[in-house]
Structure 1
Amino acid sequence: MNGEGAGPRSASVIVNVIDVLRCFTVEEPLQGVTEIAAQVGLHKSSVSRILATLEREGIVERDELSRKFRLGLGLIAIAGPLLANLDVRRVSLPMLRDLSAATEETVALVVWDGSEAVTVEQVPSTQNIKHTAPLGTRYASALNASVQVFLADMSEDRARELLAGAAAPPAGSGVGTDEVLTWLARTRERGFAVNYGDTYPEEVGLAAPVRDLRGETVAGVLLAAPRYRVDERRREELGRACAHTAAQISARLGAVPA
């Protein structure tokens, strides 16, 4: 009760968490509770509790096939070195800078963690009034262009599943699943997603898909701007510019041009 021993005990808990995280390596990215327990010398119930907490925070996530754990994108918000190891980020940065310079607006790169879009890179606008977000910012609602660009690449069944859960538009938005599915079809048709004041009246967001050599959407190029600077014609211009940059990045990743 007087606090004696609290320091060492707290430290031991932190050490245990770090030991668990260190079990995930490039050679063995998937780890089960039993495997981790054997490596760190903890009881399986202790390891299970640690993993459950880390999973809630997005630090680890489950592999759908094996049900084992792997590191999650939640680390991006707290671990800069993880960003440096994302190939798509390294490839994208020069082109994101070019797009920001050409449009004078904030440009970001987002990746998908299974239920949300996560910002992993950003080039802020040089203008005094701009829209920016910290690295690690997550977007869940389908009202966000950064979410739509990933949903548009999914099957309708999977998109509906997410729209009924994590990606559901906020209550009171007046936007239903069928309307979002119409947006997604439009996104596939023109090559970029649009949030024209849907999340915040004063903000415009445009996002285009970055594809890998398998043709899968692995990231999105997001452009954010104050709405007062973007009329409908400017919106289309910025959307096409965003799609062009996403296509350039995709080509660098080995994607076949559409």
Structure 2
Amino acid sequence: MEEAASDPHEPSRDGARVIRRAVALLREVSASRGQGAKLTALAEAAGLPQPTAHRLLSVMLREGLLERDEATRAFRLGPLLYEFGLAATPRVDIRRFCAPSLDRLAASIGDTAYLNCRSGADALCLDRREGGADVRPMPVEVGNRRPLGMGSGALAVLASLPSEEVDAVLAHNAGRYRRYGMTPERVRASVEATRARGFAVTSGRVVARFRGVAVAIGNGVGGIPVALSVIATEDRLDVRRIEKVVLLLQREERSLRSILGAEPSISQKGFAT
């Protein structure tokens, strides 16, 4: 009776919950980019009972939001999402705005430079530039996502958020951090250390024997928290070289912030995160 009396134009509480669960599954499928993800792993990662996850995945499969590898039974993002992406136009093209900085970083340092932004409780790799070093880190492809705090760029983005938002992200990702051998308490300690030093450093958190250094861009770009990062093998990013990389990252951050200050239309536009 109470449901019948509700506003017909507003989604019901159950309807909103279904949408949130479906989006959580889509995020987890996206995080498995390339390899796909199976039902058991998806249900666990999204915190859903397997029957519930199976029903939602089946519907999204029929609608074209997902596709399934018949040999491995793994789910991947489907063609309908690609079609939606073609129609989506960002208010601010963060990739284009930061492209010159990525070019300069990769050319100056010789290692791979990355651009990451916040996407809900995740960090999303928006762009990358290869350096000239012979040894490169395990590829982090454009479109890859991981929980905020996992990896230098994701940590820099998380540390740039207000404390109450950090608390919410840590609570949301508590179970997901276990897959990286981390806890919310350890991630919080990393956030505080990042804020104290002014840049993020992580070693082996995502890929063994690799180190990342990152700097967040002021208050973000177009309302979106953003960070520039560089990843290399630990022997290439020793303490002395980290200092050099940080100086270059900070130089690019200041340059971008200066442009944003002169273009308020860019800095004021944004999206809900």
TM-score (norm 2): 0.60
Q: Compared with structure 1, are the counterparts of its residues 223 and 202 closer, same or farther at alpha carbon in structure 2 (3 Å cutoff)?
A: same
1:170 pairs, out of 170, 178, 182, with 178
Amino acid at match of 1:57: L
- SS at 1:238 equivalent: helix
Q: Compared with structure 1, are the counterparts of its residues 213 and 121 closer, same or farther at alpha carbon in structure 2 (3 Å cutoff)?
A: closer
Q: RMSD over aligned Cα, in angstroms? A: 3.9
Residues 117 and 147 in structure 1, CA contact (< 8 A), matched pair in contact too: yes
Distance 2:262 2:119 in 1: 21
Residues 65-104 of structure 1: pairs in structure 2 closer than 5 A: 78=82, 79=85, 86-104=92-110
Distance 1:171 1:151 in 2: 18
Deviation at 1:152, TM superposition (A): 1.2
Deviation at 1:180, TM superposition (A): 2.8
Amino acid at match of 1:105: D
Deviation at 1:206, TM superposition (A): 1.3
Distance 2:221 2:136 in 1: 35
- SS at 2:131 equivalent: coil
Instruction: Note the alpha carbon deviations across 1:153-182, whole angstroms, 9 max, x for none.
Output: 233343233223326532573x44344333
Give the share of equivalent positions with the same residue, in percent. 21
Residues 191 and 243 in structure 1, CA contact (< 8 A), matched pair in contact too: no
The answer for the alignment partner of 2:228 in structure 1 is 221
Deviation at 1:135, TM superposition (A): 0.9
Residues 9-28 of structure 1: pairs in structure 2 closer than 5 A: none
Amino acid at match of 2:177: P
Amino acid at match of 1:101: A
Structure 2: gaps of 5 or more residues:
1-7, 30-76, 264-273
Instruction: Note the alpha carbon deviations across 1:95-152, whole angstroms, 9 max, x for none.
Output: 1100110000101111111110101111112223212321101021523212211221
Q: Compared with structure 1, are the counterparts of its residues 52 and 169 closer, same or farther at alpha carbon in structure 2 (3 Å cutoff)?
A: closer
Residues 117 and 224 in structure 2, CA contact (< 8 A), matched pair in contact too: no
2:202 pairs, out of 192, 195, 205, with 195
- SS at 2:121 equivalent: coil
Distance 2:130 2:89 in 1: 17
Amino acid at match of 1:221: L
TM-score (norm 1): 0.63
Instruction: Note the alpha carbon deviations across 1:215-244, whole angstroms, 9 max, x for none.
Output: 966211021112221212212321232222
Amino acid at match of 1:120: L
Amino acid at match of 1:169: Y
Distance 1:188 1:83 in 2: 33
2:217 pairs, out of 194, 199, 210, with 210
Distance 1:217 1:85 in 2: 11
1:130 pairs, out of 117, 136, 159, with 136
Instruction: Note the alpha carbon deviations across 1:40-63, whole angstroms, 9 max, x for none.
Output: xxxxx99x988974674259xxxx
The answer for the alignment partner of 2:257 in structure 1 is 250
Amino acid at match of 1:152: A
